[in-house]
Structure formats: structure tokens, C-alpha cells
Amino acid sequence: MTGRVLHGGTATGELLVLDAPLSFWGGVDATGTIVDATHPQCGQRLTGRVVVMPPAKGSSSSTSVVAEQLRAGTAPAAVVLTRADPIIVLGALVAAELYAVAMPALVVTDLSGLPTSGWAAVLADGEPGRLRVSAG
């Protein structure tokens, strides 16, 4: 499937499809694990995965959490959003500038047919960006 590139780069990882918006500020710990007890995927680890999610929720401080997770190596490999979210993208931009670490981000509005598991690749190296998922 294709989408609009919010932050460029390429990444691969295990697919994780979130059922609800997630705040990185207070919703995810320093290891990249979802700790928001009300989130349907509480306990899942984001680190190194291609995370598909509705827009983030909550604090603009999520930007610094995303940037610090990228610096520490505990961030998602890529983020695919169903609606553009400047908070997450700003964290990716800051980390790219300060730490030379890239986390591609795409907006894909039509997720019909998207598997809920498998190996995913995000290719955000041109317009449109692409999300490919292989079953597994």
C-alpha cells in the first residue's frame, strides 16, 4: 500500500498494529514497552517494529520521548499513521538532526487488507511512500 511520506527513510521490522491512539509521554516506558494500562496493546514492545497506529494522543512532550527512544535504540523502526501527527514526526525530525537516526513515517489512509501480523517494510524514499507486509 502507498502513503504520504512524513519523514523519509527505509526500515523493516515485525508489524504491530495498534487498535487505539497512544501517547508516548506516559504511555510508553524507556524500553519501548506500552505501559498505559488502558491501552489494548499494553505490554507490547514497540522497539524495532513497524508500528501502525491511529494518530497519537496526548502531550506534546511525546516529541521528546520519541527523540530519546530513537537515541537509545528503543523506538519503533518506523511509524505508519492513519492521520498525520506532527508530534511524532517532530520527534523523528529532531532525532535525525541531533542523533543522525532515522525513523520513517508514513500516512496511509486506507488500511483495508492490512494483515495484523507479519514482517513489514517501510520505504519512504520517494513519493508515494510504500508499506509492504509479508504474512507471518
Residue-by-residue DSSP string for 61-89: THHHHHHHHHHHT-S-SEEEESS--HHHH
CB atoms within 10 A of CB 65: 23
Q: Which is catalytic among the residues 59, 60, 112, 117?
A: 59
- Closest by CA position to 68, among listed 24, 37, 112, 16: 24
Known catalytic residue: 112? no
User: Which amino acid, residue 3?
Assistant: G
- Catalytically active residues are 59
